[in-house]
């Protein structure tokens, strides 16, 4: 339930305690999944990883380089208005830090605002976006005769298959391989394996395109995407990483990580946040007290 920032309401923090289980056995299961992941990737002569900058595609890229060697692994990423303006620089910085200057992303610039069905923001929004994006990526990897010589890989994991993700159908239609999901790796396992293998972004908060913040049925526009980007950059400047800004007509809903909600409710933080979003034109500012999971 959201709490209005102007109120003095508090929220109840729910804590779920999960049984620890057999840590050793879980570790062995993860290692077996990683071994199968390498074997799955090895069946392709060459691959290109659709790189989003998140932990899933980062770990997939690491595994692909381990399985095939760096010379047989390419990195492709899409640049568009659905990401913040610093996205491309972050991609380059991470690849250089993690894999060295020889690992460079091939960047494909797309304009989703040209896709009417996407802009209309119906239930198929994600499907239309993924379909156009992966079709364009495959075209960029094809030979002059249109034959795709490099297998495109996506970082979808098993956890994603359990969520409502219409875009997954586009991956199936475009024959994009999903090795992480294929071997049964879930999000938590990927983070633990990424940490073990020394990936610098192993604990990076999950992210998604800016359009996911816009309520279904509301047309997507560059102005709306820009306001979301500005709002999230403001919150990140206050120390709220992994935040989401969701405009709803004349109000805005802020989703913060659970650990940050108490800080956001402190008077000085409330005043700063209210002032910023009021100047952006919102009459009311709410915080989702359920909190986001990273």
Q: Could you identify the residue written with the tokens 């760096």?
A: 70
Distance CA 49, CA 51 (A): 6
Per the CB < 8 A criterion, the answer to whether 37 and 189 are in contact is no
Angle at 246 between CA 232 and CA 236, to 5 degrees: 15
Catalytic residue among 126, 209, 243, 289: 209
Per the CB < 8 A criterion, the answer to whether 54 and 160 are in contact is no
Per the CB < 8 A criterion, the answer to whether 81 and 182 are in contact is no
**Helical (H) or strand (E) element with 151:** strand 151-153
Give the long-range contacts of residues 215-221, CB within 8 A, separation 24 or more. 215/246, 215/247, 215/248, 216/121, 216/122, 216/123, 216/125, 217/121, 217/122, 218/121, 219/119, 219/120, 219/121, 220/112, 220/113, 220/118, 220/119, 220/121, 220/125, 221/113, 221/119
Distance CA 155, CA 54 (A): 9
Least Cα distance to 56 among 158, 170, 175 occurs for 158
* Catalytic-residue membership of 209: yes
Count of beta carbons in the 10 Å neighbourhood of residue 24:
8
Q: Judging by beta carbons within 10 Å of its beta carbon (0-12, 13-18, 19+), is residue 50 exposed, middle or buried?
A: buried
Per the CB < 8 A criterion, the answer to whether 288 and 255 are in contact is yes
Q: List, by residue number, the catalytic residues.
A: 209
């Amino acid at each position: 339930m959201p709490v209005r920032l102007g109120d003095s309401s508090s929220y109840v923090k729910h804590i779920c305690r999960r049984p620890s289980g057999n840590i050793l056995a879980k570790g062995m299961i993860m290692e077996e999944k990683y071994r199968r992941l390498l074997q799955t990737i090895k069946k392709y002569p060459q691959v290109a990883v659709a790189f989003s900058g998140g932990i899933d595609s980062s770990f997939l890229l690491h595994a692909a380089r381990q399985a095939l060697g760096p010379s047989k692994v390419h990195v492709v990423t899409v640049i568009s208005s659905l990401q913040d303006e610093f996205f491309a620089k972050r991609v380059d910085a991470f690849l250089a830090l993690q894999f060295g200057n020889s690992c460079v992303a091939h960047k494909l610039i797309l304009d989703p605002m040209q896709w009417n069905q996407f802009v209309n923001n119906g239930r198929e929004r994600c499907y239309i976006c993924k379909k156009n994006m992966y079709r364009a990526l495959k075209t960029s990897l094809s030979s002059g005769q249109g034959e795709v010589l490099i297998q495109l890989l996506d970082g979808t994991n098993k956890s994603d298959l359990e969520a409502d993700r219409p875009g997954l159908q586009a991956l199936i239609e475009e024959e994009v391989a999903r090795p992480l999901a294929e071997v049964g790796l879930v999000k938590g396992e990927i983070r633990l394996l990424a940490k073990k293998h020394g990936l610098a972004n192993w604990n990076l908060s999950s992210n998604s395109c800016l359009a996911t913040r816009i309520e279904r049925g509301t047309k997507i526009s560059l102005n709306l995407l820009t306001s979301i980007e500005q709002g999230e950059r403001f919150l990140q400047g206050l120390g709220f990483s992994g935040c989401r800004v969701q405009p709803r007509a004349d109000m805005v809903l802020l989703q913060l990580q659970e650990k940050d909600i108490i800080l956001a409710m402190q008077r000085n933080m409330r005043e700063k946040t209210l002032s910023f979003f009021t100047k952006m034109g919102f009459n009311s500012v709410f915080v989702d007290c359920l909190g986001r999971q990273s």
